């Protein structure tokens, strides 16, 4: 009997394309099959790669110049921060229209504290984050415990915070900020070690990141096999690792050949790792998916949906405050017009990155990918001198295609 079982065990290999006679066609079929089964996970990542390649060609190589890549990170950092928080809100089945106005208000509050009253920037930073937490808590309480729809509460918040920003700044721009605070939005990691053609600390961080990503992917695959879950074939998994390592290596070399990694990129990396872990492994993350996917079932399972919703909006307030500090630091001033349409950019990033209109679906990495898609579109079209009118049209179409794909994919999987 044992010999019979062992003799039959290699049988699943041919469908996966891993048989000895598979050759190049077998590998292609393997990749296409893996993409079909993981369309939501890989679709926008492939789209981002194609957009980068297209604009690199159309701009004559300007898109991936080290200076432009660094500017791309700096220009989109605050949208990516907002997109992380917005993704959690949308997964929970809600929406937040106030984040752009709250971003502007926190920037104005920081300017009043540091510029007008000379408060030390670390204390001002803490107070600004607390203000964001308080704003998110109030909105979260109204939504979770009083049952007012999030659309109405955050629409009111959008108007309220925009008005408070005008009151604080009296309709004028206020700056400049302390040098140390400016570095949050414009600064780079310091150079260490011997003089080379590259930024040494950035190269070191790139190597560490590559090792961490490979370890995490291998560990996740091993855990899936331990729990007898479906895993992608070995060849496709290896192809995925090669693509990830190559992408990180290219980004590292580009940044290291200019001024090094921006400080905000380190903050973003910490947020992605932290929130990614919470959403994948923590009870709080599973509860967010539960209330967004099926609220009645979540309640029957003992999930405290009101508390989770409250905490989601509190978190959104803190991230909006952080984004406000980054925007103000990058501009080196607080402006009454700061943060305009930021909420729309964050929402669009979430949906382009794989969030579902019905809630319960989405990832932190997806929000980052969606934000980068919009960021590359903006940057590439600026390099090509495309007018802002056509930029809005193209970004609107990109959002429509992403949501349409989500609806099509859901109908296909349900059929």
pLDDT cut 90: percent of the chain above it: 55
Cα distances (angstroms) measured from residue 73 to each of 159, 260, 351? 29, 12, 20
Cα distances (angstroms) measured from residue 359 to each of 67, 290, 291, 308, 354? 38, 9, 8, 14, 11
Cα distances (angstroms) measured from residue 235 to each of 80, 215, 345? 32, 17, 37
Q: Nearest to residue 395, comparing CAs of 341, 320, 359?
A: 341
Write the CATH number for 125: 1.10.3470
Domain boundary among 235, 261, 287: 261
Instruction: Give 258-316 pLDDT, tens digit per residue.
Output: 989 999 999 999 999 899 899 988 999 999 999 999 999 999 999 999 999 999 999 99
Are 109 and 128 in contact by the 8 Å Cβ rule? The answer is: yes
Q: Is residue 319, in this structure, part of any structural domain at all?
A: yes
Q: Is residue 3, in this structure, part of any structural domain at all?
A: no
Is the domain of 64 the same as that of 102? Answer: yes
Nearest-angstrom CA–CA distance, 79 and 378:
12
Nearest-angstrom CA–CA distance, 9 and 16:
14
Q: Is residue 13, in this structure, part of any structural domain at all?
A: no
Say yes or no to pLDDT of 34 above 80. no
Is the domain of 268 the same as that of 145? Answer: yes
Is the domain of 254 the same as that of 196? Answer: yes
Is the domain of 370 the same as that of 292? Answer: yes
Q: Nearest to residue 350, comparing CAs of 292, 267, 266, 295?
A: 292
Q: Nearest to residue 240, comparing CAs of 227, 221, 225, 223?
A: 221
Nearest-angstrom CA–CA distance, 271 and 287:
19
Is the domain of 230 the same as that of 360? Answer: no
Q: Is residue 413, in this structure, part of any structural domain at all?
A: no
CB under 8 Å to 280, separation ≥6 — which residues? none
φ/ψ of 262, rounded to 5, equals -65, 150
Say yes or no to pLDDT of 413 above 50. yes
Q: Is residue 170, in this structure, part of any structural domain at all?
A: yes
* pLDDT value of residue 48: 85
Q: Nearest to residue 48, comparing CAs of 393, 365, 414, 406?
A: 365
φ/ψ of 48, rounded to 5, equals -60, -45
Is the domain of 239 the same as that of 341? Answer: no
Nearest-angstrom CA–CA distance, 78 and 197:
30
* pLDDT value of residue 404: 75
pLDDT cut 70: percent of the chain above it: 87
For residues 156-168, average pLDDT: 95
Instruction: Give 92-111 pLDDT, tens digit per residue.
Output: 999 999 999 999 999 999 99
Domain boundary among 261, 276, 306: 261
- pLDDT band at 37, cuts 50/70/90? low
Q: Which domain holds residue 342?
A: 42-187+262-405
Is the domain of 235 the same as that of 119? Answer: no
Is the domain of 212 the same as that of 109? Answer: no
Three-class secondary structure of residue 262 per DSSP = strand
Nearest-angstrom CA–CA distance, 198 and 216:
27
CB under 8 Å to 162, separation ≥6 — which residues? 101, 104, 105
Is the domain of 281 the same as that of 393? Answer: yes
Radius of gyration of the chain (CA): 23
Nearest-angstrom CA–CA distance, 48 and 241:
17
Please name the residue that has the structure tokens 């089945």: 93
Domain boundary among 223, 241, 261: 261
Are 371 and 79 in contact by the 8 Å Cβ rule? The answer is: yes
Q: Is residue 333, in this structure, part of any structural domain at all?
A: yes
Domain total of the chain:
2
Q: How many CA atoms lie within 13 A of 227 on its CB side?
A: 8
Q: What is the 3-state secondary structure (H, E, C) of 64-83?
A: CCHHHHHHHHHHHHHHHHHH
Are 251 and 49 in contact by the 8 Å Cβ rule? The answer is: no
Q: Is residue 294, in this structure, part of any structural domain at all?
A: yes
For residues 199-227, average pLDDT: 87
Instruction: Give 215-238 pLDDT, tens digit per residue.
Output: 988 888 888 788 777 777 788 788
For residues 133-138, average pLDDT: 97
Q: Is residue 234, in this structure, part of any structural domain at all?
A: yes
Say yes or no to pLDDT of 387 above 80. yes
Lowest mean pLDDT of 41-55, 65-79, 317-331, name the range: 41-55
Nearest-angstrom CA–CA distance, 176 and 91:
38
Is the domain of 146 the same as that of 288? Answer: yes
Q: Cis link prior to 176 (omega < 30° from 0)?
A: yes
Are 17 and 27 in contact by the 8 Å Cβ rule? The answer is: yes
Is the domain of 289 the same as that of 370? Answer: yes
Is the domain of 74 the same as that of 152? Answer: yes
Q: Cα 341–342–347 angle (5° rounding)?
A: 100
């Amino acid at each position: 009997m044992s010999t019979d079982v062992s003799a039959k065990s290699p049988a699943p290999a041919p469908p996966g394309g891993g048989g000895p006679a598979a050759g190049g066609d077998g590998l292609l079929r393997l990749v296409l099959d893996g993409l079909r089964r993981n369309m939501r996970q890989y679709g926008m990542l492939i789209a981002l790669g194609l957009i980068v390649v297209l604009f690199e060609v159309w701009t004559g190589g300007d898109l991936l110049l080290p200076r432009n890549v660094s500017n791309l990170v700096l220009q989109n950092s605050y949208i990516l921060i907002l997109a992380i928080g917005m993704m959690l809100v949308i997964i929970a089945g809600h929406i937040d229209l106030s984040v752009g106005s709250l971003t502007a208000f926190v920037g104005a509050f920081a300017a009043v504290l540091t510029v007008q009253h000379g408060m030390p920037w670390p204390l001002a930073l803490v107070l600004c984050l607390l203000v964001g937490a308080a704003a998110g808590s109030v909105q979260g309480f109204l939504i979770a415990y009083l049952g007012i729809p999030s659309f109405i509460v955050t629409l009111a918040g959008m108007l309220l915070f925009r008005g408070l920003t005008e009151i604080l700044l009296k309709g004028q721009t206020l700056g400049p900020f302390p040098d140390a605070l400016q570095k949050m939005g414009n600064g780079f990691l310091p150079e260490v070690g011997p003089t080379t053609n590259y930024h040494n600390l950035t190269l070191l961080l790139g190597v560490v990141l590559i090792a961490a990503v490979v370890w995490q992917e291998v560990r996740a695959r091993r855990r899936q096999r331990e729990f007898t879950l479906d895993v992608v074939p070995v060849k496709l998994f290896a192809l995925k690792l090669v693509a990830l390592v190559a992408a990180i290596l290219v980004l590292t070399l580009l940044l290291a050949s200019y001024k090094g990694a921006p400080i905000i990129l380190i903050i973003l990396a910490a947020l992605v790792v932290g929130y990614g872990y919470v959403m994948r492994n923590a009870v709080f993350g599973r509860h967010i998916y539960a209330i967004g996917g099926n609220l009645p079932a979540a309640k029957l399972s003992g999930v405290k949906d009101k508390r989770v919703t409250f905490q989601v909006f509190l978190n959104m307030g803190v991230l909006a405050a952080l984004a406000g500090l980054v925007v103000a630091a990058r501009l080196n001033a607080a402006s009454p017009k700061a943060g305009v349409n930021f909420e729309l950019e964050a929402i669009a990033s979430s949906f382009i990155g794989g969030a579902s209109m019905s809630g319960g679906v989405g990832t932190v990495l997806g929000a980052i990918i969606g934000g980068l898609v919009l960021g590359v579109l903006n940057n590439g079209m600026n390099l090509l001198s495309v007018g802002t009118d056509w930029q809005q049209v193209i970004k609107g179409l990109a959002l429509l295609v992403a949501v349409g794909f989500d609806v099509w994919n859901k109908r296909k999987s349900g059929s």
